[in-house]
Amino acid sequence: MKTGLPESMRRHPTSLDPTGRRKRRPWLVAGPLAAVFLVVIWLLAFGLTRNPDSYRNPLVGRRAPAFALGSLQGGGAIRLAQLRGQIVLVNFWGSWCNDCVVEHAALDQAWRRYRDQGVVVLGVVYQDTASNAERFLHELGGGWPQAVDPGSKTAIAYGVRGAPETFVISSAGRVVAWHAGPVSYAYLSSHVDRLLGRAR
């Protein structure tokens, strides 16, 4: 059936068919959707090939970011600058975190062994309330300093991705080690002894 339209207009994707309706071009929609689908599949497949344990916190080897945090136990602010000259084990934790329960004894053991040798264990409450943290410590014990981190500003500065995470900071103020997940006493003591100049 002749429509009286020039050939170029009849072939255009937006042209009308002889009944007056627009011609449908399913590939105009299906093509881009298929391309998006393939890109998403590729990104997922690429992500599955990546080992999450290969992540390395970029602060290792650099100066530890300064902070001034309120003490959970009360009193003045806990400032990293005031701890200069001491080895500092900064542990980000939360009462909601099962792995934080697992590692608690290791932190307690490190605190008891090294607290009189120029080593400070410092807990930083991560994405938790002060009341929950206090209840956790009341149940499990632990006499080392604890700090609150409103808005997780310090955690963000340290690149914390979850709890628990532990940073070993030298007496010169540099991050010498970082551990994600429940930390062991062997891990803590090996780094602290090396920084104290002891052969292992």
β pairing state of 165-169 and 87-93: antiparallel
DSSP letter, residue 16: B
Q: What is the pLDDT of residue 47?
A: 46
Widest pairwise Cα distance in the chain: 98
Alpha helices for 3-160 (secondary structure H): 7-11, 26-48, 98-114, 130-140, 153-157
Residue 38: per-residue pLDDT: 72
State the pTM of this model. Answer: 0.73
How far apart are alpha carbons 169 and 102 in whole angstroms? 22
* Residues 6 or more apart whose Cβ sits within 8 Å of residue 150: 70
Token couple for 183: 């930390």
Among residues 190, 187, 196, 194, which one has the least CA distance to residue 106?
Answer: 187
CB-CB contact of 68 with 78 (8 Å): yes
- The per-residue pLDDT for 61 is 96
Q: Which residue numbers in the chain have pLDDT < 70?
A: 1-32, 34-36, 39-54, 199-200
CB atoms near residue 187 (< 10 Å): 17
What is residue 8's predicted lDDT score, i.e. its pLDDT?
56
Q: Which residues of 30-46 are buried (b: 16+ CB within 10 A; e: fewer)?
A: eeeeeeeeeeeeeeeee
User: Is 59 within 8 Å of 158 (Cβ atoms)?
Assistant: yes
Closest Cα partner for 145 from 60, 65, 80, 50? 80
pLDDT at 51: 41
